[in-house]
Amino acid sequence: MSFYLAVKEIWRSRGRYLLIAGIVALITTLVLFIAALSEGLASANREYIEKLNGELLVFQSGAELSTTASRLGRSRLAELRRVEGIADVGQVGFATAKVPQGDGQSDVNVALIGVEPGRPGDPEVIEGQQLVRARSNDVVVDTGVTDRLGLGVGDTIRIKVTQGTEDKFFDLNIVGVTDRRQYFFQPAIFVPFVTWDKIRPQSSDAIGQGELVSNIAVVKLTDPSNLTAMATKIEQEVTKVQAVDRKTAWEAIPGYAAQQSTLNTQRYFTFFIGILVVGGFFQIQTLQKVAQIGMLKAIGASNFTVGLSAILQIVTTNAIGVAIGTAGTILLVSNFPESVPIMLTGASASTAVLSLLLIGPIGGIVSVFALLRIEPLTALGLAQ
Amino acid sequence: MIALEALNVTKVYGTGVNAVTAVNDVSFGIRRGEFVALVGPSGSGKTTMLAMLAGLLRPTHGQIVIAGQDVSKMSEAKRTRFRGQYIGFSFQANNLVPFLNALENVELMLRLNGKLNRANKQRASDLLERLGLGDRLKNKPGQLSGGQQQRVAIARALIHEPEVVLADEPTASLDSERAHQVVRTFAELIHEQNRAGIMVTHDLRMCKYVDRVIQMSDGQISRIIADRADILRLAGMAEAADGPMPSTNGKATLAGEPVVLRGI
């Protein structure tokens, strides 16, 4: 009976219900788009760190987990390798370089990441070969580089860096390609650490001076199950370092937390607006149906029948809207250019869709209670 | 056989100094196959009485017995089920579900009672045909006139074979010709199907179709007219006095004088 009444009303008043489903679809598109943008921006920021083949990242203490402020020398690395429970340690250095495009086009910024071949931090290739030699011009690039610059294994990539006051150009041989590992919104080039130290941007005083200094060290543990205890142990046994897990490290990337909280606030507000809009629609509809509901109750329809019918209508309309909105968003996102940081992952999309499916029931709950309170006496023009 | 019985029924709205007695110690019974008009001026308590007879309102004192069951003692949920099974309704307005067509509106009572089968669907269709709506089965209420809507409501009130059929001002929004047509058909069906029917009306002209008139005044029964000649006289007076317009004060008048009725 409830199902019959719900379906008949939706079908016979489909224009009205399609309108609210359309509004839900637009809200769904907005929420999913913000979720995709949030995921895309987060991923573009943290991809390299997220995919690191080590469990802990070691920073210089006092650097506040900033990869650019942190400095770790070889001596610190030697101390790290002596800590019991550490399987391997790799030095990683971060810098930015430009890839000139010629023909008046602007240079493409890339993350120039120095890694020790075969050690934690060195990415696994999906094509070509791994970095092998510590001193060479061989590089591995991520698919961000191959997609944007149209280069592949066997090609040479020319980068421009500023050393002292001069722009210097270096030609590097691409020997392998790894999956997307952007860092700070830039496609990544992985260079043997010794080479990186020579070609990275630096002041004239620093060129060729002192020991090899990395920004961070990536630590692979023999037993990855006890991260907190190992981090504490490292901080106790190695001078002036701070050890954190990958998540803590990427959350400390400048702007990451602020950006995510801004986008999440937008998402929650859109969700809240959705609840108000859907709730308002069904509340108005309930007010318009007082006489009809009173009559139905008078002729013997129970509160359960009337309430369930309303819930079915709310859930169905909402689900149709969410389905249309989700399909539309997938279509929209798949047609965005590669350069736009939009990423609709299964996890973030399904969380958003599940929460959107709750918009209707949460918004409509007030109208369902209002329906239950309508007295059958209203059919006779009486109310207690 | 008594189908409905009101025993010393009283309804008081409010409490203390705000208490208003809408119905005061009213008793009467209605037999199967009998059609009764409940008349009276506005505020006489007839709609409150109808609401209590329908199980929509619980009396403050007294009993309402339908098909041997005391409706006034039932819980809210039980009364709702009881209404669906034992009572048929026709209201003054908002009678039909707007998104269902005429046939679906009638079938609604069968659905509510779990009696929707091929044979009963045919009965619903036949009943509407009988009421002159054979070509309107698929029309929605918005596509029907007021009279047609009332006839659909009458079909819905009778289709599930209830013990009692209640009608609240069924002619309020109809012109004179349609009003006669609707009430005449209603009366015929009540007699044919051996139901107990009660009609609350302001329009005394419609009394000519009923078997008994119960007149209420100030919450009490002021007259009961059972004599056929008196009933026809009352209706005739009202017709003569009011012409095409229904009387609204519950007392038929002739040349400004109240009609004195016998058979109280």
Is residue A278 a contact partner of residue A318, using CB atoms and an 8 Å limit? yes
Q: Which residues of A touch B94 (CB under 8 A)?
A: 291-292, 294-295, 379
Please indicate, yes or no, if residue B119 is contained in any of the structural domains: yes
Residues B86-120: pLDDT tens digits? 999 888 876 789 999 999 999 999 998 888 889 98
Give the residue on A whose Cα is nearest the Cα of B156. A299
The residue among A167, A153, A176 whose CA lies nearest residue A199 is A167
B204 touches chain A (CB under 8 A): no
As a whole number of angstroms, the distance between CA A264 and CA A249 comes to 20
| Residue B257 pLDDT greater than 70, yes or no | no
Q: What are B151-170's pLDDT values in tens digits? A: 899 899 989 889 999 998 88
| Structural domain range at position B120 | 2-258
What does the pLDDT read at residue B67? 87
Q: What are the domain boundaries of chain A?
A: 2-46+257-380, 62-239
A207, A48 Cβ separation under 8 angstroms: no
B124: which 2 tokens?
A: 């619903």
Give the count of beta carbons closer than 10 Å to the beta carbon of residue B8. 12
- For B12, phi then psi, to 5°, come to -115, 125
Q: Is A331 exposed, middle or buried (0-12, 13-18, 19+ CB in 10 A)?
A: exposed
Reported confidence tier of residue B237, pLDDT bands at 50, 70, 90: confident
B74 within domain boundaries: yes
CB atoms within 10 A of CB A38: 23
Q: Other CB atoms closer than 10 Å to residue A141's CB: what's the count?
A: 29
- Please name the amino acid found at residue A81: R
Q: Among residues A280, A213, A281, which one has the least CA distance to residue A73? A: A213
Cross-chain Cβ contact B100/A294 below 8 Å? no
**Single-letter residue type at B60:** T
Q: Is residue B263 part of a domain?
A: no
Continuous H helices in chain A: 2-12, 14-50, 74-82, 143-149, 193-199, 227-237, 246-251, 256-288, 290-298, 303-334, 346-357, 359-373
The tens digit of pLDDT for each residue in A313-338 reads: 989 999 999 999 999 988 888 888 77
Tell me how long chain A is. Answer: 384
Residue A115 pLDDT more than 70? yes
Task: Find residues 275-294 of chain A whose CB sits inside 8 Å of chain B.
Answer: 291-292, 294
Q: Which residue of A8, A10, A299 to mutate against B (max B Cβ within 10 Å)?
A: A299
- Whether A382 contacts chain B with CB within 8 A: yes
Write down the residue that tokens 């679906």 correspond to.
Answer: B104
Q: How far apart are CA B37 and CA B209, in angstroms?
A: 9
State whether residue A301 sits within 8 Å of chain B by CB.
Answer: yes
CA distance A379 to chain B (A): 7
Q: Distance between CA A89 and CA A60 in Å, rounded?
A: 15
- Residue among A258, A230, A229, A168 nearest A204 (CA): A168
CA distance B90 to chain A (A): 9
For residue B46, is pLDDT > 50?
A: yes
Per-residue pLDDT, B243: 57
Question: How many Å is the Cα radius of gyration of chain B?
Answer: 18
Mean pLDDT value across residues A119-143: 89
Task: With 0.80 as the threshold, say if the pTM is over it.
Answer: no
Give the pLDDT mean for A84-113: 88
Residue B198 located in a structural domain: yes
CB B83 to CB A299 under 8 A?
A: yes
A1 contacts chain B (CB < 8 A): yes
- Identify which of B13, B95, B100 has the shortest CB distance to residue A8: B100
Is the ipTM reported for this complex over the cut 0.95? no
In chain B, the number of structural domains is: 1
User: How far from chain centre, in Å, is Cα B230?
Assistant: 21
* Euclidean distance between CA atoms B74 and B55, whole angstroms: 9
Cα–Cα distance measured from residue B210 to residue B191, given in angstroms and rounded to the nearest whole number: 10
Identify whether B264 is part of a domain.
no
A4 interaction partners in chain B (CB closer than 8 Å): 111
Question: Would you say residue B118 lies in a domain?
Answer: yes
Q: Is the pLDDT of residue A185 over 60?
A: yes
Euclidean distance between CA atoms A71 and A91, whole angstroms? 11
Kindly report the CATH number assigned to the domain that includes residue B18.
Answer: 3.40.50.300
Phi, psi (deg, nearest 5) at residue B49: -60, -45
Q: What is the DSSP string of B2-29?
A: EEEEEEEEEEEES-GGG-EEEEEEEEEE
| Nearest CA-CA distance, residue A380 and chain B, Å | 7
Instruction: State which amino acid sits at residue B252.
Output: A
Nearest CA-CA partner of B169 in B9, B31, B50: B50
- For the residues A150-175, what does the mean pLDDT come to? 89
pLDDT computed for residue B116 by the predictor: 87
**pLDDT score of A324:** 94
| Helix, strand, coil % over all residues of chain B, rounded to 5 | 40, 25, 35
The answer to whether B150 faces chain A, any CB pair under 8 Å, is: no
Residue B252 pLDDT grade (very low, low, confident, very high; cuts 50, 70, 90): very low
Burial class (CB in 10 A: 0-12, 13-18, 19+), A204: exposed
Q: What is the mean pLDDT of chain A?
A: 86
Note the pLDDT of residue B138. 93
Confidence category of residue B28, pLDDT binned at 50, 70, 90: very high
